[in-house]
A and B are shown apart, each in its own frame.
Chain A
Amino acid sequence: MDRTSVKIVVAGGFGTGKTTLVASVSEIPPLTTEEILTEASIGVDDITGVEGKTTTTVALDFGRITISPDVVLYLFGTPGQDRFWFMWDELAQGAVGAIVLVDTRRLDSSFPAVDYFERRGIPFVTAVNRFFGECAYTEEEIRGALELDPRVPLVWCDARDRPSSKLALVTLVRHAMSRITAKAPA
């Protein structure tokens, strides 16, 4: 059967505009699905003894864009809190890559997301959300604060604005493609 799913992750710190970005480009109002997680101080591979631990529900927002009759792109927003790494792993698996939203008032809140994708070699772009007009930092300053690899694209965006969110997505897909081309044998 021919129906292919493509995933892009929209990550970033708490309140950086992830849901807003998904909503601005999705063909349906963003949906929310939930996962029940349980607190465990042990490795993921050892699930014994987790009974009786507290459970928590993580909500995931997502949207969709129909690319062609047999390809659908899903955009998943990561949970705002950093402690749900399990969900990040599930979202990142098989994804084209990620958009890491950055709020210039709290640059450090997006650092864990940058670090996460960098360590795993998952292509990502940073999208700096200019919440209140002018940004106090230059691109160099933001790159420095986030310790961005010079090859990681940085775009300025307004997550409420469709063309702006579209630019972030297009930049990511191009970046992912260029990484493949660069790796391919000549």
Chain B
Amino acid sequence: MSPEKLVRMANQIATFFKTQPKEDAPARVAAHINDYWEPRMRAQLRDYVDQGGEGLDRAVMDARAFL
């Protein structure tokens, strides 16, 4: 998957959970990604975060710990 697409998909998820009233967006972003993303995609996302995560939403960066 292209990095742009990866970033867009992850950010879309973050955008939703950030609007929710509880302050637990990173954990819920991670839970969503763990439930629906295949391991290859998760690995790619982890690598991308670890390489600096350019363009990623803060909530996705913070979700890294739970992926």
Is this pair of chains taken from one and the same complex? no
Chain B contact residues, CB within 8 Å of chain A? none
